[in-house]
Amino acid sequence: MHLLMLSSDVKIFDAGSRVANRMALYGSIVDELLIVVAGVGVPQEITLAPNVRAVTAGGTNRFSSFLNMQRTLRALTKEKAYDIVSAQDPFFIGVLGYGIAKARHIPFQVQLHTDCFSLGFLTESPRRVIEALLAIFILGRATCIRVVSERVLKSVRKVTKVPVTVLPIHTEYTSDVGPTRSNIGSLKFLSVSRLTSEKRVHLIIDAVALTPDAELTIVGDGPLKKSLEFRVKRLGLGERVRFVGWQDPAQYYESADVFVQASRFEGYGVSLIEAGLSGLAIITTDVGIVGEVFEDKKEALVVSGTSSAIAVAMKRLIEDKEIRMRLGAQALESARHHSMSMEEYLLCYQRALSRCSI
């Protein structure tokens, strides 16, 4: 099988990154994988495996990168025939994928990693509404669809009857549960997140301000970092909230007591699974795999999207060690049950592609 994949993830060009390694592994289940990436900047090309290559035509801005990607796709598909076109989202990348698949008369797979029909997504900004409308159009014209959770499947079923495969995101994280934790002093809360508006990390910071015995470590980076740092300073939380940037979160999972997430929407929630595999008690909003893997009061405390609700949950876990330990133990069991090996994941991925080629 010769697979043409469309992506907007420029981390593919970072040799050794998680996404680059994952793309290289996909080469084990296809004859050839060509990844065309929409990215701002200079043109790039990288070989990730003998049969896996990624290219981007670059561009000075998003619009020019979109046009350059379109021209690149036309040229590449004239040179060689592909068996499947797979777009990593049903938005603007999906539009390009649909156009190429239709022009070359080949099957079209759409991947959906977020819950783009949820209220949280639709109310975030006018752009999200446009993306949801594009998704309705593109998903209805796909040959097959791959989603990352049952929540996203339910959303997709509202707009199309196209065959759908549910394949959770593979999580490579492993942990020695709990050996470095100490319950001396304040309880250690952890957020692992991109610092963007939909993640609502500011709500977690505000909750810490309402919870005197809470300390928070934020692992992640993004466009809101400076404003969040200013918020911490304004609230006088400099000694209780620290930003460590984006890095391997393993050491922070191992030393934390509780994981906190306040996302407006998620399709899956990799950090939730990682926290569960670390045996952490979890506080989260009702997004992604919540309800599918982690249930309220069983493996997590599920809260509304307000700082006061998060603070109430924080105080409860500070005051009741028994509940905190029980939630962590059950989250660990559920996360392990939900996880699969890379070999199992690749087999399921191959089946999803085969379903699209029929």
CATH number for position 122? 3.40.50.2000
135 with 224, same domain: the answer is no
Model confidence over 92-112: pLDDT tens digits? 999 999 999 999 999 999 999
Within this chain, do residues 225 and 244 fall inside the same structural domain, yes or no?
yes
Q: How far apart are CA 57 and CA 37, in angstroms?
A: 8
Task: Give per-residue pLDDT as tens, 248-285.
Answer: 999 999 999 999 999 999 999 999 999 999 999 999 99
Work out how many domains the chain is built from and give that number: 2
State how far Cα 334 lies from the chain centre. 19
Question: Is 202 a member of any domain?
Answer: yes
Average pLDDT on 289-296 reads: 95
What pLDDT does 18 receive?
86
Model confidence pLDDT, tens digit, residues 187-215: 999 999 999 999 999 999 999 999 999 99
Residue 182, domain member (yes or no): no
Tell me the one-letter amino acid at 279. Answer: G
Structure letter (DSSP) for residue 27: G
> 95 and 19 share a domain?
yes
Q: Domain span at residue 204?
A: 187-338
Please give the DSSP secondary-structure letter assigned to residue 293.
T
Between vectors from CA 344 to CA 12 and to CA 22, what angle results, nearest 5°?
5
On whether both 17 and 80 belong to a single domain, the answer is yes
Asked whether the beta carbons of 83 and 107 are under 8 A apart, the reply is yes
Asked, for residue 143, whether it belongs to a domain, the answer is yes
Do 154 and 289 belong to one domain?
no
Q: Are 259 and 273 in contact (CB under 8 A)?
A: no
Same domain, 302 and 159: no
Tokens, residue 150: 């049952």
199-216: b (≥16 Cβ within 10 Å) or e: bbbbbbbbbbbebeebbb
- The answer to whether residue 253 sits within a structural domain is yes
pTM: 0.90
> SS3 for 152?
helix
User: For all residues of the chain together, what is the average pLDDT?
Assistant: 93
> Does residue 179 lie within any of the structural domains?
no
* Residue 214 domain flag: yes
